[in-house]
Amino acid sequence: MKRILVTGGAGFIGSHLCGRLLAEGNHVICMDNFFTGSRDNLQGYMGNPDFELVEHDVQEPFDIDVDEIYNLACPASPVHYQYDAVDTIRTCILGTMNGLDLAVARKAKFFQASTSEVYGDPLVHPQLESYWGNVNPVGIRSCYDEGKRCAETLCMDYHRQTGVEVKIIRIFNTYGPRMLPNDGRVVSNMIVQALKGENLTVFGDGSQTRSFQYIDDLLEGMLRMMATEDGFSGPVNIGNPSEFTILELAQLVLELSGSKSRIIFKDLPSDDPKRRKPDIGLARRKLQGWEPRVPLREGLSKTIEFFRTII
């Protein structure tokens, strides 16, 4: 049995990860300050003797006896990470440093949940891990984009200087049950609007693309990455290479929800990427042939059913 710390463990991805790690026989310590995380996401684990909940902000140092650390602590949607941009970048940098310091002290593996946002508004398509990105360092999204880029730098510098084992993945758009209805992400926004009978908002003309990955596929990629033993640190893209326009997503949400809502168009936000699609060749080679298995239609249906229970 491993002792595994999940920072940001009460969030959308973190809570699912806690459940998967528990199911595989581990002792899981969930750390969260509940800025965007929710205790509701953890209710199914609270009676489990192998689950601990620690309320703590990763910006402050912490010391826990652990074998592995999954660092997921950071608001990950524009609404939340722009709410307090300085706090976001502090979480990215100080939180990662504190986690890495713990990993060094405890000789633990350190897993960094990075993001496709490190590519910015990419000039290369699809995005390979070797692409350095096209990021605005002074824009309204910079606190997150540059914060995550700096976190990757910290991981590799700690690895080179201390020998600590690090694993870095870059997560592309992920969706599923337990997303927050007010997180400002395109999937949750559209589902909530459809279920409430409101107009579905499409920014720009809807031709911009995203690659949508269901939560179960992401979890499988995360666990396979942590299990790699050949000194592979990454970064590695974990996402779905099936590319959809935002307009196609809106139309599918309307179909699957049975909503009679209309689609309306608004101005594109500043620094919003035009295209986003991962090249997952490296993941296939290094992570035992990993690739997404859940089609968008199937994943959206499950996500819509979740939102019906909370709207």
Q: Alpha-carbon distance 170 to 238, whole Å?
A: 6
Cis-peptide, bond into residue 235, ω within 30° of zero:
yes
Residue linked to tokens 């559209």: 190
- CA distances to 96, 107, 150, 162, 307 from 157, in Å: 12, 16, 10, 8, 41
Of 45, 81, 144, 214, catalytic: 144
Maximal CA-CA distance, the chain = 58
Q: For residue 144, indicate whether it is catalytic.
A: yes
Cβ pair 33, 57 in contact under 8 A: yes
What phi and psi, each to the nearest 5 degrees, are found at residue 68?
-140, 150
Cβ pair 188, 12 in contact under 8 A: no
Cβ pair 159, 166 in contact under 8 A: yes
Tabulate helix, strand, coil % of the chain (nearest 5).
Answer: 40, 20, 40
Half-sphere exposure of 73 (CA within 13 A, CB side): 32
Residues 30-58, buried b or exposed e (16+ Cβ, 10 A)? bbbbebbbeeebbeebeeeeebbbeebbb
Question: Comparing C-alpha atoms, which of 133, 71, 127 is closest to residue 98?
Answer: 71
What angle in degrees, to the nearest 10, is found between the helix axes of 186-196 and 296-310?
60
Q: Alpha-carbon distance 22 to 144, whole Å?
A: 30
Active-site amino acid positions: 144
